[in-house]
Homo-oligomer: A and B are copies of this chain.
Amino acid sequence: MPEFRRGPINDRWVIIAPERAKRPSDYKQKGPEQPAQPPESCPFCPGNEEKTPPEIYRVQEPEGSWRVRVVPNKFPALSDYPDLGCTAVEGIFDRMNGIGTHEVIIETPEHAKEIPDLPIEQIKLIVDTYILRLSKLRENEFYQYVLLFKNHGKEAGASLTHPHSQIIATPIVPSHVREMLQAAKAYYEQKERCLFCDILLTELQAEDRVIEVTDEYVVLTPYDSRFPFEMMIYPRVHSHDFTEMDEKTRWGLARALKRTLYRLKALLGDPPYNLVLHNSPNPAPRPGEPKYWSILPYDYHWRMEVIPRLTKLAGFEWGTGFYINPMPPEDAARYLREVEIPED
């Protein structure tokens, strides 16, 4: 029997339709989604460093090789302009210059080693690099939001196979983020508690959507999951800003990322996915403009979302903004929990 579900964050219903459900084996990938690009021509492989735009940052080995690199995106969605290009009116429409920053984080020199295959120390270096670049871009007075994400597999929008993440800084707080902030602010005003902490408590009490609990994180399939095997990595200790993480929490995230992406790969055979960081907007406003978001510590709670790309968006989703999910998150969590993870 299908049911409508809605969480307290978005005004978005999800139809959980188990009549249309499949087992994990039906979603299992049949083989590599795309032929791997040969390392010789890969711009992210060691030896081809001149194929990327000039490097922004690297984690250097003593002997000269690198372990993580950050470079500008060669085909940026947004560019650094001298001119801020305030909102212009074009008849009934709004436009402004596409100002922003678009960076690529090359996660490892190894062409074909994804997070589940990497040693935990390497993943910790990736997390450190995320935090370093996000912190830097959060200080830029022209930017209101910095998004960190990773597209894995062609179906998930990746154009290169060499493991990499991306950062886009924008002069706008995205409407999705604004909606979450507004929900969290309203909840805090009423309850004097963090909305996301309360969601976490509810999920821990319900148990059936929890995949794993560590000292620092809870990994779960959200109540209102839009997609089969959608997962959320929640920090257990409240924090609105990803960049404020201490050493222990960074190591914990490295472990949680490795274990969570391992579960996905083991259960479904390396499916395409998007990894998205939900973080609070930047503290610094644009000069001369009001501070839109005076972020109080309880207005937000950062999380990392894993979105496997196993189903297609179709007419229903475009027409309504709602989603049809054939896999109840309780079932997805059970399958994911049952994956045996080798000790590191």
Question: Which one, A126-134, A246-254, A310-318, is touching chain B?
Answer: A310-318
Indicate whether A320 sits within 8 Å of B93 (C-beta atoms), given known contacts A16-B98, A98-B4, A154-B312. Answer: no
Please give, as numbers and ranges, the residues of chain B lying within 8 Å of A8 by CB-CB distance: 92-94
In angstroms, Cα B90 to Cα A206, docked, is 10
Please give, as numbers and ranges, the residues of chain B lying within 8 Å of A3 by CB-CB distance: 95-98
Please give, as numbers and ranges, the residues of chain B lying within 8 Å of A155 by CB-CB distance: 312
Contact of A307 among B4, B168, B206, B318 (CB under 8 A): B318
Please give, as numbers and ranges, the residues of chain B lying within 8 Å of A170 by CB-CB distance: 320, 322
A6 near B93 (CB under 8 angstroms)? yes
A247 to chain B, nearest CB (A): 26
Question: Which one, A43-51, A262-270, A271-279, A283-291, is touching chain B?
Answer: A271-279
Among A63-99, those with CB < 8 Å from B are 75-79, 81, 90-98
A176 near B319 (CB under 8 angstroms)? yes
Indicate whether A157 sits within 8 Å of B313 (C-beta atoms), given known contacts A75-B20, A93-B7, A319-B149. Answer: yes
Please give the number of chain A residues whose Cβ is less than 8 angstroms from any Cβ of chain B in the complex.
Answer: 76
A321 an interface residue at 8 Å Cβ cutoff? yes
Fill in one digit per residue for A301-330: 1 if any B CB lies within 8 Å of its CB, else 0.
000010100011111101111101000000
Question: Which one, A106-114, A197-205, A235-243, is touching chain B?
Answer: A197-205
A202 to chain B, nearest CB (A): 4
A77 near B175 (CB under 8 angstroms)? no
Among A10-36, those with CB < 8 Å from B are 11-13, 15-17, 19-20
Chain B residue nearest to A97 (CB atoms) is: B3
Question: Which of A12, A94, A277 has the largest count of B CB atoms less than 10 A from its CB?
Answer: A94
A302 to chain B, nearest CB (A): 12
What is the oligomeric copy number? 2
A1 an interface residue at 8 Å Cβ cutoff? yes
In angstroms, Cα B338 to Cα A321, docked, is 33
B147 near A320 (CB under 8 angstroms)? yes
In angstroms, Cα B158 to Cα A205, docked, is 39
Q: Chain A: interface secondary structure?
A: mixed
A276 near B149 (CB under 8 angstroms)? no
In angstroms, Cα B319 to Cα A278, docked, is 7
A205 near B316 (CB under 8 angstroms)? no
Chain B residue nearest to A166 (CB atoms) is: B315
A2 an interface residue at 8 Å Cβ cutoff? yes
Pairs A–B under 8 Å by Cβ, sample size 17: A4-B95, A4-B98, A8-B93, A19-B76, A77-B316, A91-B206, A92-B198, A147-B319, A149-B315, A170-B320, A170-B322, A176-B319, A177-B320, A277-B319, A278-B319, A305-B318, A307-B318
Binding site for B on A (CB under 8 A): 1-8, 11-13, 15-17, 19-20, 75-79, 81, 90-98, 145, 147, 149-151, 154-158, 166, 168, 170, 172, 174-178, 198-199, 202, 205-206, 223-224, 274-278, 305, 307, 311-316, 318-322, 324
Given pairs A8-B92, A93-B223, A277-B319, 6 additional interface contacts (CB within 8 A): A2-B77, A2-B78, A13-B174, A149-B315, A177-B320, A307-B318
